[in-house]
Amino acid sequence: MKATGSQIIVESLKKEGVKHIFGYPGGVVLNIFDALYDAKDIKLILTRHEQGATHMADGYARSTGKVGVALVTSGPGATNTVTGIATAAMDSIPIVVLTGQVPTMLIGNDAFQEADIVGITRPCCKYNYLVKDINDLAYTIKEAFYIASSGRPGPVVIDLPKDVSAAQGKFHWPDKLNIRSYHPTLEGNRWMIEKAAEKITRSKKPVIIAGGGVILSGASDELRIFAEFTDIPVTTTLMGIGAFPTNHPLSLGMPGMHGTYYANMAIQESDLLIAVGMRFDDRVTGKIDAFAPNAEIIHIDIDPTSIRKNVDVDIPIVGDSTKVLFTLNQILKDTDKPQWEEIRKAWIKHIDEWKKARPLTYRFDENIIKPQYVIEKLYEATEGDAIIATEVGQNQMWAAQFFKFKKPRTFLSSGGLGTMGYGFPAALGAQVAFPDKTVIDIAGDGSIQMNIQELATAVIYDLPVKVAILNNHYLGMVRQWQELFFNERYSHSYLHEVPDFVKLAEAYGAVGLRAEKPSDVEPVIREALRVRKPVFMDFVIDWKEKVYPMVPAGAPIDQMLFEEEPKTKEEKKLKVIK
Amino acid sequence: MRHTISILVENKFGVLSRVAGLFSGRGYNIESISVGETLDPKISVMTIVTKGEEAIVEQITKQLNKLIDVIKVQDLFEVDHVEREMVLIKVAPPTQLKAEALRLAEIFRGRVVDSSQKTYTIEITGDEKKIEAFAELMKPMGVKEFVRSGKIAIAREKIRQ
């Protein structure tokens, strides 16, 4: 079939099953946009900023498990995607970012709107290409989708010079790929898995730590079978939220810096950690030398570089979480039936005591809105049947702590890079994929202002995302650190006057609602869920509220700060308790 | 410990910066790097000398393996191997040391590849110790330029018992 480069690009995307592209046009991608004009099977969502487009592709990918696609122009268009690419890279999210490039003959000449995007994105993507020959287009796109979505997933960038997308050529879709240097290990080593099974049967105090890899691999069911069969409690990292139901009796919630008391205590006391699809991020481990001092570690991860990067591991198993857990479950079921309940009884009882001693809690106030209360009410109003995106900071941690996630791919949050401005566009991406689902972005007043322009995208494409702004006029998490560790020197964390979010929403043609006292919270949420329009809910919250528990950076994870009942003035100061 | 790592890569543009960028981006140090095509023009071989504790070098080799364009990584530290480096040294010895310079070059099996009225350019190959010893001896000869290639290395073939 005779075709232009642009038609080849569009046909290749169709072959990959692409239904939605998030993008923004510009000079050197005009040919591609022109080809999209006729492509009825592919819908382009015109964003207001290329960063928004990349985060939308990311949110689309996280919520669906498919590859998200962004299409932007060269130079500034391309550089605006870098934050989105780095965000996806840190959290292993499969996206393909198509960037325009100046004509090949001008590359390197500092041409108008030229940037070396292959060079710029090299350290923050899984792979990238500069396509110089129209004959390489189809194969490159197929390979890019394969690399993005296989093994440990990640973002792939394809840079497309204008003359290549304008040239005439032939469309030939390759049947198969041959990348001699890329063969992700999927099956775990059988002997290692057997060793792991043996350790599991002998362990008295085991804990499972499940990470984002469980969700990416679709291993939630196998994880649940494994945990229930062996009666082992499960803690899910921020990226692992949804991999195991939070309301399950074996759930320990989140570990680490803002993790639950019982998750952290269980890890510290455990004699065996079974880490699945997680990478021992410093926000999880705290002081690394003091992390799980008595535990042997089984580490299952598809990426060999994750193993022994931060902690020493006794049994490394490189492989896909679903496959490894499946084999592990088979082996465990075939072993001489140990009386799991009997073996674990004391341990589970011990954990239940921790759960009772210090549950996740906050002090309700009748006069001022507590952010945790907002999250609880969001959970009640949706009965947990919603996709929740978050921004970064206190809002993110409260969402992780107080919303109960039952299913994978329902919590979208920038875990690794911690990108403010991620949540709103990510929520829009998820809403594009699931037009009938309730999608909520839990935001702070600082974060929402980082990609607030996408409200226009929400309105124009009828994406009824609800944004719950926990408005404290501060960069709350920065303020919290300054209060606790910088002698209350609030250097530039006070945002002064923030925009009137209600009026702002209305100005864009969306709905704005405000809650100023606790009794407003429920009605505002009900109203927001009722209207089929994008809504900004402006919750004027207690600006002094902090995220607890908290492990100070660099401390062992069982040294947690808690909110204490203030009795005397001295006791208003926080106590460090072990 | 110092490790010599041999890396087979796809001979595509940008591969060198991917590998070098991996080192700089993760704070690893490259002592020397040399790259060249193999007999198969689609494949290049890189020899990188780096230093670090065992855990660091393990991370380095794993990270290298993870790069899409990397076909094979071998840490030659683990096996018996041969290392060579080439040096070109331009010296301008005082008249009374001219003969000495040539004599030393001969002892070290160097070759004079260029000479002028005032200078000799000597080519020498060998392992690091030999090159350092030679460089040391050349110091009084008025070294004008000193260029080293970076190491290349190859595993020794195992002899069957």
pLDDT at A574: 44
pLDDT at A570: 52
Report the 3 state secondary structure along B107-119.
HCCCEEEEECCCC
pLDDT at B160: 73
Q: Which residue positions in chain B have pLDDT lower than 70?
A: 161
Three-class DSSP category at A551: coil
A549: cis peptide before it, omega within 30°?
A: yes
CB B137 within 8 A of CB B76: no
Mean pLDDT of chain B: 94
pLDDT at A337: 67
Q: Which element (helix H / strand E) includes A316?
A: strand A315-318
CB A370 within 8 A of CB A395: no
- Please state whether A238 falls in left (phi above 0), alpha (psi between -120 and 50) or beta: alpha
pLDDT at A479: 96
CB A168 within 8 A of CB A31: no
Size of interface A-B (CB pairs under 8 A): 34
Give the Å distances, CA to CA, from A8 to A23, A46, A171, A346, B15: 18, 21, 6, 63, 27
B42 touches chain A (CB under 8 A): no
CB A243 within 8 A of CB A220: yes
> Which residues of chain A make contact with B20, given a CB cutoff of 8 A?
none
pLDDT at B56: 92
Tokens of A82: 């870098």
Contact between chains at A182 and B68 (C-beta distance less than 8 A): yes
- Residue B53 distance to chain A (closest CA, Å): 13
Catalytic residue among A477, A537, A550, A560: A477
DSSP characters for A190-215?
HHHHHHHHHHHHH-SSEEEEE-HHHH
Contact between chains at A179 and B68 (C-beta distance less than 8 A): yes
Helix axes A476-485, A394-402, angle to 10 degrees: 100
Tokens of A361: 């809690």
Tokens of A378: 């969001």
Q: How many CB atoms lie within 10 A of CB A481?
A: 16
- The CA-based angle A289-A295-A300, given to 5 degrees, is 95
Strands B2-10 and B70-75: antiparallel
CB A446 within 8 A of CB A393: yes
> Which residues of chain A make contact with B55, given a CB cutoff of 8 A?
308
pTM: 0.94
Tokens of A140: 């490159």
Residue A450, amino acid? M
pLDDT at A1: 75
Q: Which element (helix H / strand E) includes A388?
A: strand A387-390
**DSSP H helices in A403-454:** 423-433, 445-448
B10 touches chain A (CB under 8 A): yes
DSSP characters for B53-75?
-HHHHHHHHHHHHHSTTEEEEEE
Tokens of A141: 């796109």
Tokens of A552: 């100070």
Instruction: Report the alpha-carbon distance of residue B161 to residue B156 in Å, rounded.
Output: 15
Q: What share of chain B is helix, strand, coil (3-state, %, to 5)?
A: 35, 40, 25
A375 touches chain B (CB under 8 A): no
pLDDT at A473: 95
pLDDT at A576: 42
Q: Which residue positions in chain A have pLDDT lower than 70?
A: 337, 565-578
B27 touches chain A (CB under 8 A): no
pLDDT digit string (tens) for B40-84? Answer: 999 999 999 999 999 999 999 999 999 999 999 999 998 999 999
Range A312-321 burial, b when 16+ CB lie within 10 A, else e = ebebbbbbbb
Segment 306-335 of chain A within 8 Å of chain B by CB:
308-309
Contact between chains at B17 and A122 (C-beta distance less than 8 A): yes
Catalytic residue among A66, A126, A142, A162: A162
Contact between chains at B25 and A181 (C-beta distance less than 8 A): no
